[in-house]
Structure 1
Amino acid sequence: MKRVNFYLFIAALVVLDSVLLRSPNLLGKIGLIIYKYHYLRTFPKTLVTVSLVVGIAVALAEAVRFFVQRGIWKRPVGQVVLALLLLAAVAMLVKTAVDFTAWSYSHTGLRFRLGAYLLPAILAVVFGYAWGTLRVPHEPFPESPIMNQQTPSDKTPS
């Protein structure tokens, strides 16, 4: 149930991000036209774009979780893959922060900039959640060698 609630929260963040990315100021709208960001011009296109990006991230995280649960990959391999994906999402967030301090992007409006920051942050949250909740494989409790030995009281006289 926790995973369902988490992914409902992510879905709400996707809608919020789409709303924020769809509302640039006048300079931002001109920039969308100049740079041919046609996938951000209307709310439905923005929602589909953000949903696809986050959906692919969720699919990757769930695939790693599936491989670890089925024993195809060991847990450390899954942790490394998810850590690399998390690192890539954080690098995207840093690159977005650097890009939006430049003159052309810094005048696009506060909502548009917040939406641009929110998308890589959502990806980082998805990969971080998958990394943090990666299941520990069940190891059976070892049997005691004493249990297999017969005690003197168990021996019957013949």
Structure 2
Amino acid sequence: MLASLKKNLTTTLLLVILGVTDAYLLSHPNLIGRIGVLIYQHDYLKTFPRALATVFLVVGTSLAICEVIRWQARPRVAVGWYLMLFVLGLSLFAYVYVTFSSFTYRLTGKAFIYGAHLLPILLIGLFGRYLIMAIFEARKQPEV
């Protein structure tokens, strides 16, 4: 996995920058958002280090799953897995969009709302990148 990250340094750097930005946005809701974080016991978003750990845990786990699929599965099978993960990311984004469109969540502040939307977008981009790589890899291999 580290070899893949070193090979694509710009992609890795972009992922890190967007992850830090997402954690910053999630850890800075307005006053109403802070009350909501306390009431609903979202301890993982209270401070920037906790939000950063949460975001990197989600993104890191997703990246590890993608790398395991890339190593273990044949390219045509990997396309199916990545497509499933991509659709999962899209449905997570749709869920966040619908949830944060409600009146209550609209009061939590723009930074918090943008942060909530950025995490599924990160996952969609990650899964989409691996999906495209798997499609090109599957096209290279002769059909059986």
Q: TM-score, normalised by structure 2?
A: 0.88
Per the TM alignment, residue 3 of structure 1 is displaced from its structure 2 partner at its CA by 2.1
**Larger proportion of helix:** 2
Residue of 40, 43, 50 corresponding to 1:35? 40
Per the TM alignment, residue 103 of structure 1 is displaced from its structure 2 partner at its CA by 1.6
Per the TM alignment, residue 107 of structure 1 is displaced from its structure 2 partner at its CA by 0.6
Q: What is the distance in 2 between the residues matched to 1:63 and 1:3? A: 17
The within-5 A match list for 1:68-87 is 73-87=73-87
- Supply the RMSD in Å over aligned alpha carbons: 1.6
Letter in 1 for 2:109: G
Query: Residue 108 in 1 paired to residue 113 in 2?
Result: no
Query: Residue 58 in 1 paired to residue 63 in 2?
Result: yes
Query: Residue 13 in 1 paired to residue 14 in 2?
Result: no
Letter in 2 for 1:132: I
| Distance change in 2, residues 1:77/1:93 (3 Å) | same
Q: What is the distance in 2 between the residues matched to 1:24 and 1:74? A: 44
Larger radius of gyration, structure 1 or 2?
1
Per the TM alignment, residue 102 of structure 1 is displaced from its structure 2 partner at its CA by 1.1
Query: Residue 136 in 1 paired to residue 141 in 2?
Result: no
Letter in 2 for 1:46: A
- SS of the aligned residue for 1:136 comes to helix
Q: What is the distance in 2 between the residues matched to 1:61 and 1:114? A: 25
Letter in 1 for 2:13: L
Per the TM alignment, residue 79 of structure 1 is displaced from its structure 2 partner at its CA by 0.2
Letter in 2 for 1:36: Q
Aligned residues: 135
Q: TM-score, normalised by structure 1?
A: 0.81
- Structure 1 outlier segments of 4+, above 6 Å: none
Q: Percent identity?
A: 35
Aligned residue in 1 for 2:119: 119
Aligned residue in 2 for 1:149: none
Q: Which stretches in structure 1 are left out of the alignment for 5+ residues?
A: 68-72, 141-158
| Distance change in 2, residues 1:109/1:139 (3 Å) | closer
Q: Which stretches in structure 2 are left out of the alignment for 5+ residues?
A: 1-5
- SS of the aligned residue for 2:137 comes to coil
Residue of 9, 13, 16 corresponding to 1:4? 9
Deviation digits for residues 11-61 of structure 1 (CA, Å, limit 9, x no counterpart): 110000001101100100000001100110011000000000000010011
Per the TM alignment, residue 136 of structure 1 is displaced from its structure 2 partner at its CA by 2.0
